[in-house]
Amino acid sequence: MAIHDAFRILTVDNEPSVLCSLKFVFSAPRFEVTSAESGEAALAFLAPGTAPYDVLIVDQKMPGLTGAELVSELRTRGVAVTLLLLPAHLSPASLRPSDALHVHPTP
């Protein structure tokens, strides 16, 4: 990434307020933030032939495809991206899917 290029971030969360907050925190021009409201929508942004993202920030607990299931699918598809998995509530139960994928959630 050249010094003038924006750092590309894909945020994935079913809560619009969280997506809005992340877009505010990672503001332009240093960051280019794209938001997806589901794991399924994120897969479309990460399809072959699309521009790669530098970082993927994913909520763990979402309807449909959970964060851990999204990570698993991305690994199956060979998508290489730095990943932050953000569980809303840290508990042993919420950590199990992440542990199985060797992903360490970011509290």
For the chain (107 residues), the mean pLDDT of every run of 10, in chain order, is 77 94 91 96 92 92 89 89 76 59 55
- Pairing outcome for strands 7-12 and 55-59: parallel
What pLDDT, on the 0 to 100 scale, is given for residue 81?
86
Q: pTM (2 decimals)?
A: 0.80
> pLDDT (tens digit, 9 = 90+) per residue, 53-84?
999 999 988 899 988 899 889 989 988 888 88
Q: Cα–Cα distance between 36 and 38 in angstroms, integer?
A: 6
